[in-house]
Amino acid sequence: MALLELKQVTKVYQVGTVAVHALRGIDLMVEKNEYVSVMGPSGSGKSTLMNVIGCLDTPTSGTYILDGKTVHDDRIEQSSVGKLSDDDLAFVRNQKIGFVFQTFNLLPRITALHNVELPLIYAGIHKKDRLDMAKEALRKVNLEDRMHHQPNELSGGQRQRVAIARALVNNPSIILADEPTGNLDSKTSREIMQLMDHLHDEGNTIILVTHETDIAQHAHRVVHFLDGLIASDEFTPKGKG
């Protein structure tokens, strides 16, 4: 069974009187430990897809199953099963999703360690275990020595590594990285991508949104979006090999 399964997923936004069809019926399966890049011009629906996969948003119609859990299924009438509440979605995000954003999205004025702790706090994990897990995650991204620094005392690359540690810390089913190198110079970008590759080697499932072809080539599979539909879905040389 696939780790992630989307069937005929659509998303329609109402902008004023105009209905915007952001997703027009997406079928996508991602297996465990896959490394997938999502590409496409702006407005192609890739951000909407990420929001749906990340349980920040729910589809207008279709079925979404993540790690055996039905997040959305409009064939099921009972709302309790077929459509999750906001708090249920928050729970799924907390347990199964690790987000890496283009703008890092760390909380200012708290330490790197505290930032990494946040998902564990919301998971209700005890303080002692929490600290151990957060330190371990920071160790994985080589930032142990900076854990008591606040985000404004860290470089862009370091901030993104804190964000990656935060995404990893709750052992998510899937890591969603939305333009993770978009705000970084090319040298730092390479370091971050090396880290992503390493995480994949360790068994993590990664979905990466990018518009840079060379970044996309780090993945084993590239999905191209156009006008709310999947235009192509191909393995990269890495994936074939």
Contacting residues toward another protein, per CB under 8 A: 51, 54, 56-57, 86-87, 90-91, 93-95, 99, 101, 105-107, 109-110, 118-119, 121-127, 130, 166
Residue 75 or 127: which CB sits closer to another protein? 127
| Partners of 65 in the β-ladder | 5, 70
Which residue lies nearer to another protein by CB, 32 or 91? 91
Contact yes or no for 32/59 (Cβ under 8 A): no
Q: Is the Cβ of residue 2 or residue 123 nearer to another protein in the bound state? A: 123
What backbone torsions phi and psi does residue 83 show, to the nearest 5 degrees? -135, 120
- Shorter beta-carbon distance to another protein: residue 128 or 240: 128
Question: CB of residue 196 vs another protein: minimum separation in angstroms?
Answer: 19
**What are the Cα distances from residue 18, in Å, to 14, 43, 58, 59, 138?**
6, 15, 19, 18, 45
**Minimum gap (Å) between residue 136 Cβ and another protein:** 18
How far apart (Å, rounded) are the C-alpha atoms in residues 112 and 131? 12
The length of the chain in residues reads 241
Whose Cβ is closer to another protein: residue 124's or residue 237's? 124
* Cα 58 from Cα 146, distance rounded (Å): 37
Under a CB-based contact definition with an 8 Å cutoff, are residues 8 and 63 in contact?
Answer: yes
Q: What's the min distance (Å) between Cβ of 93 and another protein? A: 5
What values do phi and psi take at 150, rounded to 5?
A: -85, 160
Q: 3-class DSSP state for residue 87?
A: helix
As measured in angstroms, the least distance from the Cβ of 106 to another protein is 8
To another protein, the closest distance from the beta carbon of 186 in angstroms equals 25
